[in-house]
Structures are given as C-alpha cells and as structure tokens.
C-alpha cells in the first residue's frame, strides 16, 4: 500500500531543516515530471513529498562576474526562451529546444534532470561540455560546489546527499564559443536519446584551440571524450581529421545494448554524431 505525506516549504532555510529531520524519507518535488511517473508506476510507494515549487529564490538566470548562474527551479522552457542562454550557451539552448514537448518543458527543471541523472539526460550533456559547477546546500555541511563531472555518480545516482538541496548550476559565459547539440532518438519528438552529444569549440582561424565534447547514453553516466578533445586541439578540420576523431571517440565510450539499440549501433552512432556535431558547430 502506498503512503505519502506532503509539505510545501516557502524558504530554502525551511526546506533544509525538513531535509535534515527527514533524511532519506524526504523526496524533493520540483516539476514532478520524473517523480509523478515513478509514483504512478509504484517505483516510489512512500515518502514525504517536499514540494519546492514555491521557492522563488531558486528561479532565474543571472550573469554574475561573467558566469551564468541558473537557479535550480528554472524550467527547460525558461532556458529555451532566454536570450542569455541562446547567445552565450547555445549548446544548452539547442538541448532545451529538443527536450520533450512544450508541456513537459514548462514543468521540467534543469536541476531535476541532474539530481538522479539518466545516462541519456538531455540537460546534463551540454552542462558537461560547458564545464558547469553544481551548488548544493545542507544544514550540516553548508554549501558545496561540485564540478558536474564529479556530481554524476552512476545511472540514476548523483553525489547529492539525502539532506542536500541543489541551489543552482553555473558556468562561464562566452559569446565566442561555437556549440552544437545533437539528440538522436527513434522518432523526431518525445524520444529518449539513443545517444546525445554536445560539442563546444573555440577557433583561431580554422584551427581548433579549445574543445569540450560530452556524450550521453554511452556509459553509466554522461561523459567527456577527453582523448578526442586532445586529438582535435591544434588541428584544422578536414574530412580526414574528422574520420580519425570519429574512430577515436568510439574507443572512449562503453555503451550497452538495450531494447532501443545494440551496443554496436550506439558505437557507430557516436562516430557519426561526433562528425556531424563538429561540422554543425563550425557552420
Ligand atoms: C513525457 C516525458 C518526456 C520527457 N522527455 C525528456 C527528454 O526529452 N529529455 C530528458 O532529459 N528528460 C526527459 N524527461 C524526464 C524529465 O522531464 C526530466 O528529467 C526533468 O528535467 C526532471 O525535472 P523535474 O523538475 O520534473 O524533476 P522532479 O520530477 O520534480 O524530480 C526529479 C528528481 O530530482 C530531484 N530534485 C529535483 N529538484 C531538486 C533540487 N533542487 N535539489 C535536489 N533534488 C532535486 C527530485 O527529488 C527527484 O529525485 C521526460 C519526462 C516525461 C514524463
């Protein structure tokens, strides 16, 4: 039998106090697009639902000291309609444009996407390529800042402790970066990514001076393809260089086969999408 209690704190302080007292019995509810399906399918059968949707201090996109700071309750729609995100973090903007459908985007929050992260989470992959930092807080340990790579701990697992709340995610603002996000699913809309990829580039003329490449659904967590990044730095993009990079990226990932795609197909896709994403970023 299911048993739920509900509470709706109105400040971060009150939320932290509830999490401190309740520990793992508490479940933060933000946009509820993951939690509600989990309750409906009885993956969650009892808990105290801590509805944080009234915490207005966790909403919004701000630029502080050349860093873009996104409050935990900012929705995918708000990111998609933000000029700051479109112009200074285009890789994230593209991911938000390909995320679910307008109804889900209006509720789904960026931090709800990363708290118990699917390896295919579309919001997480661009944040990896932007080298984002996650800010969390609890009553016992205060505020902690974690690079998103450290925050991702496994399929559906993050470094978040039961009494911690995600406050925001932030990354360096840059107008001169070129970015590309590609989501490959089994249909054009409302698809879970078979693979998703985010590429951020900086160029000097035609030569790549910096690049960050992140992929999702190719391992237990979304990951950076560091060897491929290293290979591309200092090179001009030619068909030959792209072919070599496409082979290299396959050696850095360990996708599984499941009902959506075989391991071999995902490996093949990774090479194809890397090439397309670099070309799209350059274009
Ligand atoms: C029809 C449908 C389509 C979808 N399509 C996509 C898609 O295209 N791409 C994709 O990546 N995902 C998709 N999703 C999954 C989901 O929408 C996202 O993961 C979304 O970002 C979750 O955010 P939320 O605010 O709804 O999280 P919630 O459901 O409220 O919470 C999710 C988890 O995060 C925790 N949490 C939330 N906020 C915080 C916080 N501030 N601090 C600590 N913990 C927190 C919650 O406790 C819970 O464990 C889809 C879901 C549905 C139902």
Quick one: which of 38, 41, 9 has its CA closest to 22? 9
Contact 89, 173 (CB under 8 A): yes
- The answer, yes or no, to whether any atom of ligand 1 lies below 6 A from the CB of 167, is no
- The answer, yes or no, to whether any atom of ligand 1 lies below 6 A from the CB of 109, is yes
Q: For 151-182, what is each residue's pLDDT tens digit?
A: 999 999 999 999 999 999 999 998 778 999 99
- The answer, yes or no, to whether any atom of ligand 1 lies below 6 A from the CB of 105, is no
What is the structure's pLDDT at 113? 97
CA 84 to CA 250: how far, in whole Å?
Answer: 33
pLDDT exceeds 90 at position 187: no
pLDDT exceeds 90 at position 83: yes
Instruction: Categorize the per-residue pLDDT at 184 as very low, low, confident or very high, splitting at 50, 70 and 90.
Output: confident
The CA 36 to ligand 1 mean position distance, Å, reads 10
**Cβ neighbourhood burial of 146 (10 Å; 0-12, 13-18, 19+):** middle
Q: Hey, whose CA ends up nearest to atom 51 of ligand 1?
A: 33
pLDDT exceeds 80 at position 90: yes
- Mutational pocket test of ligand 1: of 33, 106, 151, 164, the residue with most ligand atoms within 8 Å of the beta carbon: 33
Q: For residue 32, is it left (φ>0), alpha (ψ between -120 and 50) or beta?
A: left
What is the structure's pLDDT at 57? 94
Q: In what order do the strands lie in the sheet with 178-184?
A: 178-184, 195-204, 207-216, 223-224
Which atom of ligand 1 approaches the CA of 28 most closely?
A: 47
Tokens of 158: 């993050």
Q: How many helices (H) and strands (E) does the chain have?
A: 12, 14
- The answer, yes or no, to whether any atom of ligand 1 lies below 6 A from the CB of 170, is no
Q: For 91-135, what is each residue's pLDDT tens digit?
A: 999 999 999 999 999 999 999 999 999 999 999 999 999 999 999
Rg, Å, the chain Cα set: 19
Instruction: Categorize the per-residue pLDDT at 257 as very low, low, confident or very high, splitting at 50, 70 and 90.
Output: confident
The CA 277 to ligand 1 mean position distance, Å, reads 25
Query: Average model confidence (pLDDT) for the chain?
Result: 94
CA 198 to CA 68: how far, in whole Å?
Answer: 18
- Give the pTM: 0.96
What are the residues whose beta carbons fall under 8 Å from the beta carbon of 14, sequence distance 6 or more? none
Which atom of ligand 1 approaches the CA of 111 most closely?
A: 38
Place of tokens 């499941």: 258
Contact 199, 129 (CB under 8 A): yes
Segment 251-265 mean pLDDT: 90
Q: For 194-233, what is each residue's pLDDT tens digit?
A: 899 999 999 998 899 999 999 999 999 999 999 999 999 9
Which atom of ligand 1 approaches the CA of 136 most closely?
A: 42
Segment 143-157 mean pLDDT: 97
| Structural domains in the chain plus CATH codes | 3-51 (3.30.43.10), 56-172 (3.30.465.10), 178-282 (3.30.390.50)
Strand pairing of 165-172 and 133-138? antiparallel
Place of tokens 């925001």: 168
User: Helix (H, G, I), strand (E, B), or coil: what is residue 195?
Assistant: strand
What is the structure's pLDDT at 161? 95
Which atom of ligand 1 approaches the CA of 121 most closely?
A: 11
The fraction of the chain above a pLDDT of 90, given in percent, is 88
């Amino acid at each position: 039998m299911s048993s739920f209690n509900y509470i709706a704190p109105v400040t971060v302080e009150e939320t932290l106090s509830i999490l401190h007292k309740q520990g793992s019995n508490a479940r933060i509810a933000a946009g509820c697009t993951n939690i509600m399906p989990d309750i409906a399918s009885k993956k969650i059968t009892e808990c105290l639902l801590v509805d944080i949707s009234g915490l207005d201090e966790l909403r919004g996109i701000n630029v502080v000291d050349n860093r873009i700071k996104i409050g935990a309750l900012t929705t995918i729609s708000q990111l998609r309609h933000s000029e700051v995100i479109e112009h200074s973090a285009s890789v994230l903007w593209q991911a938000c444009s390909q995320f679910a459908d307008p109804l889900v985007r209006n509720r789904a929050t960026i931090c709800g996407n990363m708290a118990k992260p699917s390896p295919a989470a579309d919001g997480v992959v661009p944040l990896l390529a932007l080298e984002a930092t996650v800010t969390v807080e609890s009553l016992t340990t205060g505020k902690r800042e974690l690079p998103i790579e450290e925050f991702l701990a496994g399929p559906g697992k993050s470094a978040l402790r039961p009494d911690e709340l995600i406050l925001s995610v932030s990354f360096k603002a840059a107008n001169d970066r070129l970015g590309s996000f590609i989501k490959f699913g089994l249909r054009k809309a409302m698809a879970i990514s078979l693979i998703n990829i985010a590429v951020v580039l900086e160029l000097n003329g035609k030569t790549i001076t910096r690049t960050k490449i992140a992929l999702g659904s190719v391992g237990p967590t979304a990951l950076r393809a560091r060897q491929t990044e290293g290979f591309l730095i200092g090179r001009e993009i030619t068909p030959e260089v792209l072919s070599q990079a496409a082979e290299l990226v396959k050696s850095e990932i360990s996708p599984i086969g499941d009902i959506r795609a075989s391991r071999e197909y995902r490996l093949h896709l990774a090479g194809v999408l890397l090439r397309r994403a670099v070309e799209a970023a350059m274009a």
